[in-house]
Amino acid sequence: MKKPKIKDVAKMAGVSTTTVSRVLNGERYVKDELKAKVQRVIDELGYSPSHIARSLVRQKTNLIGVIVPDLTSSFHATILSSIEQTASRSGYSLLVCDIHEDTDKELQYLNIFKEMRVEGIIIMHEKLSDKIQNLINKLDIPVIFSSVRPPDQKFISVIIDDYHAAYDAARYLAGLGHTRIAFIGGDMRDVTSGQSRYLGYRNALEDSGIAVDDDYIRFGDYKPRSGYDRMKELLDVSPRPTAVFAVSDDMAAGAMNCIHDQKLSVPEDISVIGFDGSQLTELVRPRLSSMEQPIEDMGRVTVDSLFDLIQGNEKAPKEDLILQHQLVVRDSCRALQ
């Protein structure tokens, strides 16, 4: 027998579909006797109510759409995992899109989300094209950004204070006695966090009485490879930097590998500090000191806030939620002298 429907159950139990619906939804007002009989038929038939039909009449899908820039990045995967955890606890399921630099795909998925009538959308991607800006602005579905804050738009972000986090990281290096502190930043074009972290780095140096030297400043794409390549360039600068601050752990790990491959040592020759607090920090040797984001919290807070937005709660956030960053010292930085 093909997928039984509520009518089949009703017929077989000798009751109306309403009654079946009632036991399905655990309502009162059903005699125990009937309830038991209906339940028996349900089990026997292996009946399972159609979420589709339910959604249609309830006007509620319990679905959340998530857009991730790259699933294979440990940072994003960890946030996603935390998001999934939190959402599922409230009975929500996730529709996941991994865009992989493909802007068309992002657009396509946003439209799918719209058609699917997801109740909310979480975006972890920063470089929004005009088309996309346009689309999400007239979407009429709550949107929230997690771990990023794209410029010029009206939605809430759950982030850390990138400026101060970067500032604190650079200050830490300066406090260790370093004066030739290199910087491997992120995308500067349209990316707020990239700029904030860059500014934090600059100001920290200035406040430490260190002249900012553009030769020590490079920009990558957050991935290990770019950390490696930019580090290679930095090693050619003379005098060589004694410390480097990379704005992702992935880039920091890449930088460490480059240093290693050039027969130099971390932290003896060069100190390295990362950013994010991904699992990588404990997986590399020396273990990587990092300015950490509260990744798990970030996922949780994102979902909780999105729910508030969906429900139109009073406590729904009106502005960005800033989570605390934290410097975690491991073994990749040393004090000079």
Partner DNA sequence: TTGAAAGCGCTAACAG
Partner DNA sequence: CTGTTAGCGCTTTCAA
Q: CB-wise, 3 or 260, nearer to DNA? A: 3
Q: CB-wise, 6 or 298, nearer to DNA? A: 6
Whether 156 contacts 321, CB under 8 Å: yes
138 binds, among its own copies, DNA, none (CB under 5 to 8 A by kind): its own copies
CB 46 to its own copies: min, Å: 6
The amino acid present at 74, given as its one-letter code, is S
* Separation of alpha carbons 115 and 95, rounded Å: 12
CB 110 to DNA: min, Å: 17
Q: Does 3 sit near DNA (CB under 7 A)? A: yes
Contact residue for DNA among 40, 44, 58, 336 (CB under 7 A): 58
CB 283 to DNA: min, Å: 47
The backbone region for 314, taken as left when phi is positive above 0, alpha when psi lies in -120 to 50, beta otherwise, is alpha
Which window, 33-41, 62-70, 219-227, 310-318, contacts DNA (CB under 7 A)? 33-41
Residue 113: both structure tokens together: 């989300």
Token pair 């865009």 in the structure block, residue? 99
Q: Does 24 sit near DNA (CB under 7 A)? A: yes
Listed residue (74, 98, 124, 85) closest to 292, CA to CA: 74
Contact residue for its own copies among 26, 29, 43, 46 (CB under 8 A): 46
Whether 194 contacts 127, CB under 8 Å: no
Beta bridge partners of 120: 64
Contact residue for DNA among 1, 25, 236, 239 (CB under 7 A): 25
The packing angle between helices 162-175 and 192-207, to 10°, is 30
Q: Which of residues 193-232 bind its own copies (CB under 8 A)?
A: 224
41-64 core/surface letters (b: 16 or more CB in 10 A; e: else): bbeebebeeeeeebeeeeeebebb
Q: Does 57 sit near DNA (CB under 7 A)? A: yes
Contact residue for DNA among 26, 28, 46, 140 (CB under 7 A): 28
CB 106 to its own copies: min, Å: 11
CB 311 to its own copies: min, Å: 17
What would the x/- binding string for its own copies be over residues 282 to 321, using CB under 8 A?
xxxx------------------------------------
Contact residue for its own copies among 5, 37, 114, 240 (CB under 8 A): 114
CB 16 to DNA: min, Å: 3
Listed residue (127, 134, 142) closest to 65, CA to CA: 142
Chain centroid to CA 195: how far? Answer: 19
Determine phi and psi for 147, rounding to 5 degrees.
70, 0
CB 142 to its own copies: min, Å: 14
244 binds, among DNA, its own copies, none (CB under 5 to 8 A by kind): none
Whether 267 contacts 236, CB under 8 Å: no
Element (H, E) at 67: strand 63-68
Whether 290 contacts 251, CB under 8 Å: no
What would the x/- binding string for its own copies be over residues 126 to 155, using CB under 8 A?
------------x-x---------------
What is the number of other CB atoms lying within 10 angstroms of the CB of residue 126?
A: 20
Listed residue (46, 44, 45, 24) closest to 35, CA to CA: 24
CB 311 to DNA: min, Å: 16
Residue 125: both structure tokens together: 């991607």
- Total residues contacting its own copies by CB under 8 A comes to 54
Q: Which residues bind its own copies (CB under 8 A)?
A: 2-3, 46, 48-53, 55-56, 61, 70-72, 74, 77-78, 80-81, 84-85, 88, 93-98, 100, 105, 108-109, 111-112, 114-117, 138, 140, 224, 253-254, 256-257, 260-261, 279-280, 282-285
